[in-house]
């Protein structure tokens, strides 16, 4: 047997836990219901068969005794009175048959033999063409023949309405099983959704700690874990901010001392190193603040005017920055965080591409899309996400020689998340990098 043949049944197995539990419960209920129905059917069949045979035995014994005591001339009048639906009496030898009896016929013959007095000789034959019909031939005391023609009807051990009741019961059990599985799975789904939406920097609702004790305990543990993560992150950011802040004073003193030193190549190198350290410290403080970018109060902002002002500031200093497109939309956002985001992205484009193209768009859903484009060396595809991490540098094209600290894109990423936006980096056809910011919050019409 091949591996594919072994694994093929597993492909039919549901992938979700709820579907698997429901399938197991459903299979168990079907087997239990089938077993119950089978046992009930067999028990009722045996009981109905026993009642039928006992009734046949009593009726035949009474009827034969009546025919034996009646005068031969009056027996014909009693035939209709004593006949029943499954058997009747004939005054005569009956139809020719065969001596071989079926299993059901043998059981009926045994009951009739017990009912008839031993002084009446009796023999049984099956009627050809019908495997169920048989006749019992006996001779009364006066020598006249009497035939008992038996044509047993199918035994119906169950009432006609009972299968419908069983089906309704099965449907009710299936519904209860589905509800039970849903109630059991819902806390797990809520926990998974809460874990997926976990963001210590956002004030997301806490997981409800109500319900069964196991569910409440898991929710309490998850909330406690989220609080610990938020505390650890805040503590790390505070440490980074404190170190970066405290380093500024000794760096300033070192720069002052270097200024008083004699002019030399070593002095120039020292001043450059101190300037680089100072930039790194400033970026560290900025990154620490960006981790708490949601503390700024949101306000209504006209995006076209905001971006024009930002671009004109660069153009006034002689930088190659252009602006295209209009969105004619005002949104509610945090302006200082937004300015820092685009400042970092435009500086990045100027540093590695020599120029920046800013494009404004708005899709039919009202989502604001702002792109910062450059024609620099771009970023390897496998490192597009890595460059958003703090202190990450591309050693070949974006290294210390270009003045990078590895925090510009990380700060932009943190602030974008803080204002509920999204930052995507992609390489442009023909070379260069595209930094796309989407602001999905519902815009406010600028005419209001």
pLDDT interval class at 288 (50, 70, 90): low
Q: Is the pLDDT of residue 10 over 70?
A: no
- How far apart, in whole angstroms, are the C-alpha atoms of residue 138 and residue 90? 11
Q: Is the pLDDT of residue 404 over 60?
A: no
Q: With contact defined as beta carbons under 8 Å apart, do 336 and 399 qualify? A: no
Termini Cα distance of the chain: 72
Q: What mean pLDDT do residues 404-425 have?
A: 81
- Residue among 268, 236, 240, 242 at smallest CA distance from 255: 268
pTM of the model: 0.49
- Residue among 243, 279, 418 at smallest CA distance from 340: 418
Per-residue pLDDT tens over the stretch 145-167: 888 888 777 666 666 777 788 78
Burial of 283 by CB count in 10 Å (0-12 exposed, 13-18 middle, 19+ buried)? buried
Ordered domains of the chain (ranges, CATH): 15-196 (no CATH), 197-291 (1.10.287), 298-445 (3.30.565.10)
Higher pLDDT residue, 376 or 271?
376
- How far apart, in whole angstroms, are the C-alpha atoms of residue 312 and residue 318? 10
pLDDT interval class at 337 (50, 70, 90): confident
The predicted pLDDT at position 290 comes to 62
356-362 vs 329-333, strand pairing mode: unpaired
Quote the mean pLDDT of the chain: 79
Per-residue pLDDT tens over the stretch 361-403: 988 887 899 999 999 888 888 888 888 887 677 654 444 444 4
């Amino acid at each position: 047997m091949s591996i594919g043949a072994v694994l093929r049944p597993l492909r039919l197995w549901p992938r979700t836990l709820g579907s698997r539990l429901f399938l197991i419960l459903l299979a168990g209920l079907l087997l239990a219901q089938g077993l119950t129905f089978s046992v009930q059917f067999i028990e009722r069949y045996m009981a109905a068969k026993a009642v039928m045979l006992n009734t046949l035995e009593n009726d035949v014994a009474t009827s034969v005794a009546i025919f034996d005591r009646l005068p031969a001339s009056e027996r014909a009048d009693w035939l209709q009175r004593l006949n029943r639906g499954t058997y009747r009496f004939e005054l005569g030898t009956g139809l020719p048959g065969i001596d071989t009896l079926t299993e059901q016929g043998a059981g009926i013959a045994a009951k009739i033999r017990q009912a008839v007095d031993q002084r009446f000789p009796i023999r049984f034959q099956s009627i050809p063409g019908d495997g169920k019909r048989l006749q019992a031939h006996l001779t009364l005391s006066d020598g006249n023949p009497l035939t008992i023609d038996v044509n047993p009807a199918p035994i119906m051990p169950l009432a006609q309405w009972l299968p419908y009741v069983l089906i309704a019961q099965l449907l009710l059990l299936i519904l209860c099983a589905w509800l039970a599985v849903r109630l059991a799975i819902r806390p797990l789904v809520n926990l998974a959704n809460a874990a997926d939406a976990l963001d210590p920097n956002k004030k997301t609702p806490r997981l409800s700690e109500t319900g069964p004790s196991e569910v409440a305990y898991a929710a309490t543990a998850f909330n406690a874990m989220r609080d610990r993560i938020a505390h650890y992150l805040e503590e790390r950011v505070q440490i980074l901010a404190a170190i970066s802040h405290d380093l500024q004073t000794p760096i300033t003193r070192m720069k002052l001392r270097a200024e008083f030193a004699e002019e030399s190549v070593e002095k120039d190198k020292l001043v450059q190193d101190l300037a680089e350290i100072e930039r790194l410290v400033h970026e560290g403080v900025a990154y620490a603040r960006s981790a708490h970018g949601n503390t700024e109060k949101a306000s209504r902002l006209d995006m076209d005017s905001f971006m024009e002002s930002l671009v004109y500031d660069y153009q006034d200093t002689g930088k190659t920055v252009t602006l295209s497109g209009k969105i004619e939309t005002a949104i509610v956002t945090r302006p200082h965080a937004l300015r820092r985001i685009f400042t970092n992205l435009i500086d990045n484009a100027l540093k590695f591409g020599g120029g920046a193209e800013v494009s404004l768009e708005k899709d039919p859903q009202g989502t604001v899309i702002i792109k910062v484009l450059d024609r620099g060396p771009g970023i390897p595809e496998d490192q597009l996400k890595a460059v958003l991490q703090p202190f990450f540098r591309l050693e070949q094209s974006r290294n210390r020689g270009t003045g990078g600290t590895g925090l510009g894109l990380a700060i932009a990423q943190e602030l974008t998340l803080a204002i509920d936006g999204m930052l995507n980096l992609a390489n442009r056809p023909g070379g260069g990098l595209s930094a796309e910011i989407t602001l999905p919050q519902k815009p406010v019409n600028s005419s209001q």
